[in-house]
Structure 1
Amino acid sequence: MKLLVLIHVLSAIIGVGPTYFAHVLLRKNQSLDELRSSLRVGARLEIFPKIGGSLAVLTGLLLIWLGDYGSFMQIWLFGSLVAYVLIQIIAIGFATPYQKKLGGWVLDPANQKASNLPAEQLMQWIKARKYFYGASAIGLILFIFMIVKPS
């Protein structure tokens, strides 16, 4: 059971962790070249939430099924699951599409000589950042639920 808890905690950290990197990667006031680099790194980090997050959900459900946690409706269990689902919806459903559209323009060889972002891409950058901040805030709530386990 301890091994399952270890796998669950590590996969949760690895799965949600890259959401916090998005703030650094999409930070304000970086040059277009820095943004290009950041978007390349961000594309590589996408694998971690997919694998780590999926493993965290599976091990979490397995822990509930095998463990002595009582009712699934305990606030921390239900809240953790809801928070995780919200993070995925925000990050994958909202932030990532804006990030990909931005990356499509920024990384397009035809735009390599550009020195500034056009208004549309600037809005995509801002929206992606805002959604990642929202996902990170919910991630903080998720970790609080997992650590404090309010009843």
Structure 2
Amino acid sequence: MPGIHITDIEAAINFWRERRPSADGFTLALPVQALASLYARMVFQRQDLADEQAFSAAAWAAWQTWYASTPDTPCIAICSTSQGDAVCKGCGRTESEVQYWPEMGPAEKRSTWRRITAEGTAWRFNRYAERARETQRSNAGNS
């Protein structure tokens, strides 16, 4: 069963801390408080995943706002699953993940993102990223 990974909750906390910093150095903004409460419970219970029902309404709203700020799809428009590969060389998703991506919920999508990022073998993480850096360097040199 997919769940929201603790690292995504950390990312959401940091997202909100940057947007609503503490005025006095120790009081947390409401979205940070809501997410931090869930985070603390997960740490105490030694859980890596939180079911969506474990979120309070405020924590879920805060997490959803962070989630909306992340890229929806890892696709880089080089889809080798359409050429018969079981795993896309461009983004690292399986054929099934590519096919059902629009129907997947946030927890499933974030789980896929974590896996392909940890593997780091897709072109999105090497060849494509290298080309993007080279383009940025050459564009900077032409300025």
Structure with the larger RCO, 1 or 2 (CA within 8 Å, 6+ apart): 1
Q: Which has the higher helix share?
A: 1
TM-score, normalized by length of structure 2? 0.30
